[in-house]
Amino acid sequence: MKISVLVNEGPYQHQSADTAIQFTKAVLAKGHEIFRVFFYHDGVNNGTRYAVPPQDDRNITEQWTEMAKEHNLDLVICIAAAQRRGILDENEAKRQGKEGHNMADGFRISGLGQLIEAGIQSDRMVIFGD
Amino acid sequence: MSEPWEDDELDGPVRKFMYVNRRAPYGTIYALESLEVVLIAAAFEQDVTLVFMDDGVYQIKKGQDTGAIGVKNFSPTYRALEGYDVEKLYVEKESLESRGLTTDDLVVPVQVVNNDQLAELMEEQEVILSF
């Protein structure tokens, strides 16, 4: 089955991001396909490379990055939601005249059309949010 | 001129998308960002249904004045939905009545459905996004 995941909450504040990671792992382990993971609302904060959680805690962003690398996942961050919250990739940082970018490896920034496309192309869309 | 990220070419069937709005318009950003999804989605020519339930019914209440909280009043945008061919708007009867509202209090024409009818409507959908 082809599944897409929508993550609507940021990391650490809510369980949703952790659950989304565990769900995505389980989907892949069962041999299903992840068409796309889309990050919206505070979910865009899953993609900041500057999060530095204490060493004895999990690093949610790194978990996404590693999973993306291993399984060639398409991790898409909504551009409008990201810009509001200060999440910028290299191109956007340049375009907006900002000095640095903070998008973690494995993520890409794009529009809400990617969310709609995920809804059209997938057999199921599973949403994580409180 | 559209931005490059809005040029997503889509192939595939038309699907039944339902957007369920459950939260008050202000206090969190969910209502505004849900409206953004609906407006973008309208361009993809899908079969779109909007539902307002729980505190989400306040999103389309007339007479919103957000001056005192310094937040943009985006309620006029709901009236533009018709121009995007988003015409299937439903309000859950129980949510409306328990808040002392009638359809006269709303900025857009809607169909009022009870909880059971809404469940049936949800049953028919292919993608349900809840905000």
Model pLDDT, residue B105: 98
Q: Where are the domains of chain A?
A: 2-128
Model pLDDT, residue B5: 47
Residue B122 distance to chain A (closest CA, Å): 14
- Cβ <8 Å between A112 and B15: no
- Cβ <8 Å between A111 and B41: no
- ipTM score of the complex? 0.89
- Cβ <8 Å between A112 and B41: yes
- Cβ <8 Å between A119 and B130: no
Q: Which residue is listed with tokens 């970018």?
A: A101
Overall fold of domain A2-128: Hypothetical Protein Ychn; Chain: A, (3.40.1260)
CB A118, CB A125: distance < 8 Å: yes
Mutate one of A16, A116, A130 to test the B interface: name it (highest B CB count within 10 A).
A116
Model pLDDT, residue B42: 81
A35 neighbourhood in chain B, CB within 8 Å: none
CB B73, CB B58: distance < 8 Å: no
pLDDT digit string, tens, across residues A7-30 = 999 999 999 999 999 999 999 999
Model pLDDT, residue B2: 47
Extract the tokens encoding A49: 């490379």
Taking an 8 Å Cβ-Cβ cutoff, which residues of chain A contact chain B?
6, 8, 40-41, 79-81, 84, 109-117, 119-121, 125, 127, 129
Residues of A with active-site annotation: 78
User: Long-range CB contacts (< 8 A, 24+ apart) of B78-84?
Assistant: B78/B35, B78/B107, B78/B108, B79/B107, B79/B108, B81/B38, B81/B39, B81/B42, B81/B50, B81/B108, B82/B108, B84/B39, B84/B42, B84/B43
Mean pLDDT for all residues in chain A:
97
Residue A117 distance to chain B (closest CA, Å): 7
Over residues A86-104, the mean pLDDT reads 95
pTM, 2 dp:
0.92
pLDDT digit string, tens, across residues B39-50 = 988 888 899 999
CATH superfamily entry for domain B17-130: DsrEFH-like (3.40.1260.10)
Q: What type of residue is A58?
A: R
